[in-house]
Amino acid sequence: MAQIPLDILKNTNRPTLGDSINTVLFRIIRFADLEKYLGDGANAVLYASGKKFGESLDLKSVDDVIEFCKDNKIGIVEIVNENPLQVRVYECITCSGLPKMGKTLCHFEGGFIAGCLENIFGKKVQVKETHCAGLGHEYCQFDVKILG
Ligand SMILES: [Zn+2]
């Protein structure tokens, strides 16, 4: 099946219920048995999907990304270091409150940050999660590598 374009997905036609959903429902879908079917490739699919979404928004500044993430309840984003660039996310939609599992969980968010920043910087970037509830941290943190 062809992928459904984002502008089609955005048409929710929910005049009474609106666009918001419960975080738990989001997580049930997010943590569906992707790994069972895709193995390690699942993380790459989530990253690519987040990246595409980030690119599609065409946000113009890091402040726009911070605002978008807050408005859409993805998380509270903070720049903790500029060079090298490190982005921290509190109250992450995917992992906040989850127990330590010995691995990072927020591949979608990493891709999302990458997609947004590639547009803003006009350069390829690689984003890697270094801190996560899945690793026992209180927040997520991502290293951003600007590839030029
Ligand atoms: Zn995380």
pLDDT in tens, 14-33: 999 988 889 999 999 888 88
Q: How far is the CA of 5 from the centre of ligand 1 (A)?
A: 27
Structural domains in the chain, CATH included, are: 6-146 (3.30.1380.20)
Closest CA to 56 of 10, 19, 89: 10
Q: How far is the CA of 66 from the centre of ligand 1 (A)?
A: 16
Q: How far is the CA of 86 from the centre of ligand 1 (A)?
A: 14
Spatial CB neighbours of 114, under 8 Å, sequence gap ≥ 6: 47, 50, 51, 54, 125, 126, 127, 144
Residues above pLDDT 90, as percent of the chain = 78
Q: How far is the CA of 96 from the centre of ligand 1 (A)?
A: 7
For residue 43, give the amino acid letter. Answer: N
Give the C-alpha separation, 129 to 148, whole Å.
Answer: 20
pLDDT the model gives residue 32: 85
Task: Give the tens place of pLDDT for each residue, 84-134.
Answer: 999 999 999 999 999 999 999 999 999 999 999 999 999 999 999 999 999
Give the C-alpha separation, 148 to 141, whole Å.
Answer: 22
pLDDT the model gives residue 2: 60
